[in-house]
Amino acid sequence: MEAASSGTPQLIAGLKLVQQKDDAPLFFAVVPIYKQPSSTPQERLHNLKGFVLGVFKLRELFDASALSKRPLGIKMTLIDESDPSQQRVLYVHESRTSTPIVEGTEIRQPMPHFWGKTWSILATPTTSFMNHHSSFSTWVIALVGGGSSFLLAFFTRSILSRVNQIQALNRQLKTLAQEDGLTGLANRRRFDEVLSMELSRSHRQKTSLSLALIDIDYFKQYNDVYGHMQGDHCLQSFAECLRKAIRRPTDLAVRYGGEEFALLLPDTGSPEGVILTLQQLLKRAGIPHEASNVASFLTASIGVVTVTSGIASVSPSELIEHADQALYRAKNAGRNTVEYIRISHEKEEGTRALLRAIS
């Protein structure tokens, strides 16, 4: 839990996996991911979303760094000095020459403290190197200094790349989980989340909230006449009218299920303007509907409920029930019409819309 509470990625070095086919030592990296920025250990633990785990072969990290481009004849040993009482050799990169090393000439070069680890690289020359170069220490300082920085930079980029990939995938999955696949509108799951949140906000801030349930008129008959593929195109066109009808980023257009849709309108005490705009858009779209008994084009029946002054006693399920009652009245009134219910001071008042049929 150290990584979670500190907010700092942690490394475990020198591991070997059970299914690993070779003996190459590994780095195991643990990177905490949070729901939102957090500054204290308590906040980090509370906002912890999960971890990104990465496994890296030390040999591959060395081969990708500048250290692998060193001259022939230098043996490199990576040492973990995080625990001064128990230093560990993590990896030995051989000299790439058959000549023996020169004992007593090794140089230890510290590396930057990184993700909870303190390392150093021990460089030991071979006789071949000493015969061709006059200053071993200059080579080591230049090579290890630049190479270790490149090694750490490469390692960091690899980890961050995996973090970014996972975060992008999480965003994509979240979008898919909250979006209707056919119309691109919010789905029922997203609707339930936002409705609960907006009702709480309405009560807290003493603002109005309107919900419209919308049912396409005679959609079963539409499918019977035009076919289910054309029916899908019809639903997509209807969804586009819904998108155009709403005016603010906080408004939410929803595919509630089948041919039933919803509009959630926060801070809206008079939703008549949005509903009128939707009816006008449907008329202009002019989607043919030969099987309709109310118009020659696609129409909808709409039930709207408005809660004023943030009434605390209304739950999400009760608000939906009120909207459904209004929708039922609209259908019984002959379809292609709107019924409104206003809940004010915990009393229900019903009004018949004057927008009966725009045709």
Q: Is 106 a catalytic residue?
A: no
Name the active-site residue from 81, 94, 259, 349: 259
Determine the Cα–Cα distance for residues 244 and 115; give it in Å rounded to an integer: 50
Q: DSSP for 136-203? A: HHHHHHHHHHHHHHHHHHHHHHHHHHHHHHHHHHHHHHHHHHHB-TTT-SB-HHHHHHHHHHHHHHHH
Residue 67 DSSP symbol: G
The order of strands in the sheet holding 260-266 is 252-257, 260-266, 209-216, 300-307, 338-344, 347-352
Residue 126 Cα distances to 20, 134, 145, angstroms: 32, 13, 20
Whose CA is closest to 192, among 247, 271, 245, 256?
256
The DSSP bridge pattern shows strands 252-257 and 88-93 to be unpaired
Q: Computed from CA positions of residues 91, 96, 100, 101, in that sequence, does the dihedral angle turn out positive or negative? A: negative
Which residues are the active-site residues? 259
